[in-house]
Amino acid sequence: MNSPVSAKPLALVTGASAGIGYELAALFAINGFDLIATGRSDTTEQAAVDLARHGVQVTPVRADLAQAEGVETVWQAVEKTGRPLDVAVLNAGRSIGGAFLDTDLDDELALIDLNVTSVVHLAKHVARHMAANARGRILITSSLSATLPTPYETVYGPSRAFTRMFALGLREELKEHGVSVTTLMPGATDSEFHARAGMNNTAFGTGAKKNSRKDVARQGFLALMEGKAEIVGGDAATKRTALKHRFMPETLKAARHARKAKPRP
Ligand SMILES: NC(=O)c1ccc[n+]([C@@H]2O[C@H](COP(=O)([O-])OP(=O)(O)OC[C@H]3O[C@@H](n4cnc5c(N)ncnc54)[C@H](OP(=O)(O)O)[C@@H]3O)[C@@H](O)[C@H]2O)c1
């Protein structure tokens, strides 16, 4: 016998298997949303089991979002529910640390596929679906790195700058369709992110002071539910940095970031 169709709202969260995405998914679960929770690794299923403890239905989807087929797999999982999608959190992403002269080109092109292409691809499905229903909320994870050049993660910052401007543009377009778009811009946050980027031998490595991923997720969740355009995720110092970046020359910001992100010999 099929399980009865849930009357709860439905949220899609990409990158829900770890880090900020997991904490965002947990907030939706706590607030009574059923979830489609995506990840790439085999922790995706365990994360779904943990999230379901909040008394909601959680569908895990394992897919590589750097591949167009992976994005389609995720969207098919949404369509399979036959339910309207109330919230979409486009959060999966990664960085690559190291000197551009040394880093691997294919890896960097795959980063663009994930951080840029997959966001546009999935947003196309989500936006058309939500506009047809005349309701919905979209949270797109960008970064404080969208506000500066990011030497020694030279491809990452621009990928998040794209995400930010894409989200703000989409917000303006979707307003008249009853769909709200919010951008989350976390500062450095305690997750797997910097280790996975190979940045443990930088000022962002082990022992660095970082924002709590739970706090960042809570701020993103609240901003989304309040329909805000964007929110800098993190403590007061992180928010001050975002403000200062508005008035600093890009060249100065680049030099400061290089000092922090350059691998130590
Ligand atoms: N942490 C920070 O300092 C920081 C700062 C600013 C912005 N952000 C942004 O926040 C977002 C989340 O990062 P995080 O800190 O939570 O990092 P994280 O702990 O490394 O988690 C990344 C999530 O994205 C998923 N993912 C990575 N590559 C994927 C791929 N190719 N296909 C599908 N899913 C993939 C991971 O899945 P698996 O674990 O299953 O592989 C994981 O669920 C990213 O977009 C990042 O740019 C992070």
Distance from Cα 187 to the centre of ligand 1, integer Å = 13
User: Pick from 66, 21, 23, 262: which is nearest to 159 by CA?
Assistant: 66
The residues spanned by each domain of the chain are 10-261
Distance from Cα 11 to the centre of ligand 1, integer Å = 18
Q: Are 89 and 24 in contact (CB under 8 A)?
A: yes
Residues labelled catalytic: 156
- Tell me, using a 6 A CB cutoff, whether residue 64 lines ligand 1: yes
Dihedral sign, Cα of residue 4, residue 80, residue 221, residue 216? positive
Give, to the nearest 10 degrees, the angle between helix 43-52 and helix 19-30: 30
Q: What is the DSSP letter of 146?
A: G
User: The domain at 10-261 falls in which architecture?
Assistant: 3-Layer(aba) Sandwich (3.40)
- Tell me, using a 6 A CB cutoff, whether residue 13 lines ligand 1: no
Nearest atom, ligand 1, residue 144 CA: 6
* Tens digits of pLDDT across the chain (265 residues): 456 678 999 999 999 999 999 999 999 999 999 999 999 999 999 999 999 999 999 999 999 999 999 999 999 999 999 999 999 999 999 999 999 999 999 999 999 999 999 999 999 999 999 999 999 999 999 999 999 999 999 999 999 999 999 999 999 999 999 999 999 999 999 999 999 999 999 999 988 999 999 999 999 999 999 999 999 999 999 999 999 999 999 999 999 999 999 999 8
